């Protein structure tokens, strides 16, 4: 595991890869997906691997152990994983205390997102208050906040993607973010929603339109899938599938979101990204930023740096002056 250190080395510097999203400067578009640093233990370390941003969590209002082990499985023939972790974490309050210790007096060289989900023991009808409790504790440490309503490993969580429920949740979180910002005379932190790949086209479009209507800052496409598309590895384990087999569907969802919002909302692409070519394809499909998770498992800790360097070479070949020129260019 990456160990905490007092030094915070900066990621690779190519000004063409730097961009401003939500008023935040991202030194490159390659991010760490939620799920690695679940408890916000090493937020200052990720830039040393070359990441342009990192997403911490998923964190819940109540500490919880997650599902019984074993709960993550490699599908090596498919360059994939199945996980049913179930939001195992120390809880939002513990993470907030840790972030207070780690970040006070230190400047993190990359933006930090914080991903929050519903506590397993919280009934669906109380989900809004559960998310608000986490958000109030963690927003002060986040550059952006991710609302995770799409993990397949928490019972009933995906029901929060239903438009009526989602609207109520997002309106409450956006209102809270505005109130907290007013107290500190700062700009409200961006609220971003992470969606599932298993939605219908109509559901994807409904969520995208809702995001525009309620003032969501962006969308992440996608979480893991409960489908098992064309796997070669023998697998009989329940959970969400990530990695190469997810790439095609995740890209299709991303493209649909970009078309529906007409480029008005920044999107983050995640799912099956293993190379600079994969990242560039996802950006051409509408992503302003990308994230890796399973790719890091298979390709190792130098993957984000290789992707960033590879994107620079792609810009050279394509004759582009900035990575922003690629975003949505093939939609």
Mention every residue, 6+ apart, whose C-beta is less than 8 A from residue 167. 210, 213, 214
| pLDDT band for position 2 (cuts 50, 70, 90) | very low
Sign of the alpha-carbon torsion through 220, 240, 53, 178: positive
Per-residue pLDDT tens over the stretch 40-92 = 999 999 999 999 999 999 999 999 999 999 999 999 999 999 999 999 999 99
Percent of the chain scored above 90 by pLDDT?
Answer: 94
Mention every residue, 6+ apart, whose C-beta is less than 8 A from residue 104. none
CA 210/CA 32 separation, integer angstroms:
26
**3-class DSSP assignment, residue 211:** helix
**3-class DSSP assignment, residue 85:** coil
* Catalytic entry in 47, 150, 151, 256: 151
Over residues 7-22, mean pLDDT: 84
Over residues 171-179, mean pLDDT: 99
CA 234/CA 316 separation, integer angstroms:
41
**Mean pLDDT, the chain, as a whole number?**
96
CA 297/CA 285 separation, integer angstroms:
24
Per-residue pLDDT tens over the stretch 258-267 = 999 999 999 9
CA 14/CA 28 separation, integer angstroms:
8
Percent of the chain scored above 70 by pLDDT?
Answer: 97
Over residues 86-112, mean pLDDT: 96
Per the annotation, the verdict on 18 as an active-site residue is: no
Domains of the chain listed by start with CATH number: 19-326 (3.20.20.70)
Per-residue pLDDT tens over the stretch 178-229 = 999 999 999 999 999 999 999 999 999 999 999 999 999 999 999 999 999 9
Look-up of token digits 């496409």: 221
Burial of residue 33, with CB atoms counted within 10 A of its CB: 0-12 exposed, 13-18 middle, 19 or more buried: buried
**What number of other Cβ atoms are within 10 A of residue 189's Cβ?**
27
CA separation, residue 204 to residues 50, 167, 273 (Å):
32, 14, 21
Termini Cα distance of the chain: 38
């Amino acid at each position: 595991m990456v160990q905490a250190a007092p030094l915070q080395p900066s990621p690779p510097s190519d000004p063409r890869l730097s961009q401003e999203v939500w008023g935040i400067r991202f030194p490159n578009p390659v991010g760490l997906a939620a799920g690695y640093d679940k408890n916000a233990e090493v937020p200052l370390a990720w830039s040393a691997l070359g990441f342009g941003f990192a997403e911490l969590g998923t964190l819940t209002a109540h500490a919880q152990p997650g599902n019984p082990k074993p709960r993550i499985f490699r599908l090596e023939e498919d360059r994939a994983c199945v996980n049913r972790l179930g939001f195992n974490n120390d809880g939002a309050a513990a993470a907030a205390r840790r972030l207070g210790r780690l970040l006070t007096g230190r400047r993190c060289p990359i933006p930090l997102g914080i991903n929050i989900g519903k506590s397993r023991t919280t009934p669906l009808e109380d989900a809004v208050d559960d998310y608000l409790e986490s958000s109030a504790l963690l927003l002060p440490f986040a550059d952006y906040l991710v609302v995770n309503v799409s993990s397949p490993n928490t019972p009933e969580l995906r029901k929060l993607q239903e438009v009526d429920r989602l609207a109520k949740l997002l309106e409450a979180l956006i209102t809270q973010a505005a109130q907290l910002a007013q107290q500190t005379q700062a700009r409200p932190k961006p609220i971003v929603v992470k969606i599932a790949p298993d939605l219908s086209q109509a559901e994807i479009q409904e969520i995208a339109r809702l995001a525009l209507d309620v003032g969501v800052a962006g969308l992440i496409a996608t979480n893991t899938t409960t489908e098992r598309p064309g796997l070669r590895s023998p697998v009989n384990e329940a959970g969400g599938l990530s990695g190469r087999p997810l790439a095609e569907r995740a890209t299709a969802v991303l493209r649909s979101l970009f078309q529906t919002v007409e480029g008005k909302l920044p999107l983050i692409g995640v799912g099956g990204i293993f190379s600079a070519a994969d990242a560039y394809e996802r950006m051409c499909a509408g992503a302003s930023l990308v994230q890796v998770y399973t790719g890091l498992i298979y390709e190792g800790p130098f993957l984000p740096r290789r992707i960033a360097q590879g994107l620079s070479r792609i810009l050279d070949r394509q004759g582009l002056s900035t990575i922003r020129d690629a975003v949505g260019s093939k939609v």
